[in-house]
Structure 1
Amino acid sequence: MSALEDRIDEIRAQGRAALIGYLPVGYPDVDTSIAAVVAMVEAGVDIVEVGPPYSDPMMDGPVIQHAAATALERGVRVDDTFRAVRAAADAGAQALVMSYCNLMLSRGYDRFAADLRAAGGVGVITPDLTPDTGQEWIDAARAHEVDTIFLAAPSTTRERMHLTVGASRGFVYATSLMGVTGERASVGDAAAQVVAAARDAGAARVCVGLGVSTGAQAAQVATYADGVIVGSAFVKALGDGGDLAALKAKVAELAAGVRGDA
């Protein structure tokens, strides 16, 4: 059992889902993004995903693409990611990184995993790395007790679902489609089907990211998932002006949703 798994189980024992919040480090600037991470935890986020900005964020929607471009223009560095991880951990959240593979590879998998653990982080979500091509990363992560979190989508075959579940530690990241991220007008039932398939394949913990942006949507997803992952809605609330009050208000709305108070 990892610290992340323990935390999800503890939250599940409370009769609710975890609220997992994503923010890109460096947006609108490094110091504000770190303050925003802390603000999210204070407002009700249980698990933080820190995103190191990447020059070609092919799986991110326009809100996060804009944030990443802004951060890169202002000189964000990979080391700033670990500053944000430390801030999240010190604020009392379990801290993850969501990173594209090339960024990790350029630093070196072993060094990336070691730096994450040194900063108090517990896991990495790799949206563009699959278990069958990621053994080098899995080995490095295991050596440093870092959870490896892989994605599953409606297109994931039964065979690949078993592979994904077997390689994942912490949780399986279920999405309603394998494509760009962003807010959705409605939740639909595709993600619930992915969660069910992951559980059938042996997953003990499945969290869902599909563009949730309202408390009502969070409440709906929380009925079948162990965690509700929110990114674009939080980035949009923070905005170019670094509006921490607006961010905390949006977090509070989503936190009420996963707690059944929306």
Structure 2
Amino acid sequence: MNPIDALFHRLRAENRKAFMPFLTAGDPDLAFTREVLPAAAQSGASLIEVGFPFSDPIADGPVIQASYTRALDNGLKLPAVFAALKDVTSSPGWATPVVAMTSYSIVWKKGPDAFIAAAQAAGLSGAVVPDLPVEEADDLSRRCRDKNFNLILLVTPTTSPARAEKIVKACGGFVYVVSVVGITGERARLPVQLHEMIARLRGMTDLPLCVGFGVSKPEHVRDLKAIADGVIVGTALVRKLEAATSPEGRVKTLTEVRATVAALSAALN
């Protein structure tokens, strides 16, 4: 069983929800990535989403865009990202599933089969591909299923019911439910329509439904735990990476990431 599927099977049996932090690979460098991912896992992360920096992100807000730019400006390359993730996931006692958040351009450039093989060799269990239209996803979805690698696509508030049904059928592991119209970033509150959106999706799929975009506060998490199977928090954590450019800043960032993950995970369960 894919580790993501095993995770949600266990959490459902325990009546618990998945807390899923998002962190950028290579910001400020891969040495820090090797530190911050275990810090998140040890503080309550159920699954970790790792952003693969890309020069032209579509849905990411200014905080994550800046994080990607910092990583790319330091000469980050895809093979080095995979190598760093392998160092983390092969460490003794590691048991937290990891998924990539990546542009389809990165997958296409490497080649879908080669990307899946490299990701699995690095210990990844799936990939969120936010810019892959469902109308063009059949080939990658089939390749991922054949390799027991979960492809995760996004459903947004503006997705029509007909497209949503196609999206959830192409997904594996879980469905990424975008809570708001627009880009990633912290919001004061989540839209009330989100409850209706998740209820509609429940009628289309048995896959776990995990909510991201705009989730940043314990009150958001407490609101979502009644309706979602997991919550994804990115900007509130990635913002902290800005300070990790000195030894003192790294210690401060690790402390703050641990505290934020622990608080949000506790609010969820």
1:111 is displaced (CA, Å) by 0.3
5 Å matches for 1:1-262?
2-86=2-86, 87-88=88-89, 90=91, 91-241=94-244, 242=250, 243-259=253-269
Structure 2 residue ranges without an equivalent (≥5): 245-249
Conserved 8 A contact 2:22-2:237: yes
1:210 is displaced (CA, Å) by 2.3
Conserved 8 A contact 1:165-1:203: no
Task: Tell me the amino acid that sits aligned with residue 257 of structure 1.
Answer: A
Distance of 2:130 and 2:58 partners within structure 1:
10
Question: Aligned Cα RMSD in Å?
Answer: 1.5
Conserved 8 A contact 1:37-1:88: no
Q: Deviations over 1:5-26 (max 9, x none)?
A: 2201211222221001111101
Identity %: 32
1:193 is displaced (CA, Å) by 2.4
TM-score by length of 1: 0.93
Equivalenced residues, count: 259
Conserved 8 A contact 1:85-1:96: no
1:194 is displaced (CA, Å) by 2.3
Conserved 8 A contact 2:39-2:254: yes
Secondary structure of 2:23's counterpart equals strand
Structure 1 pair 50–92 and aligned structure 2 pair: CA distance change class (3 A): same
Structure 1 residue ranges without an equivalent (≥5): none
Q: Deviations over 1:69-115 (max 9, x none)?
A: 00001111112332343314643201100101101111111100011
Distance of 2:190 and 2:34 partners within structure 1:
30
Task: Tell me the amino acid that sits aligned with residue 69 of structure 1.
Answer: T
Distance of 2:187 and 2:180 partners within structure 1:
12
Distance of 2:236 and 2:80 partners within structure 1:
22
Task: Tell me the amino acid that sits aligned with residue 29 of structure 1.
Answer: D
Structure 1 pair 88–209 and aligned structure 2 pair: CA distance change class (3 A): farther
TM-score by length of 2: 0.91
Would you identify which runs of 4 or more consecutive aligned residues in structure 1 move more than 3 Å?
Answer: none
Task: Tell me the amino acid that sits aligned with residue 258 of structure 1.
Answer: L
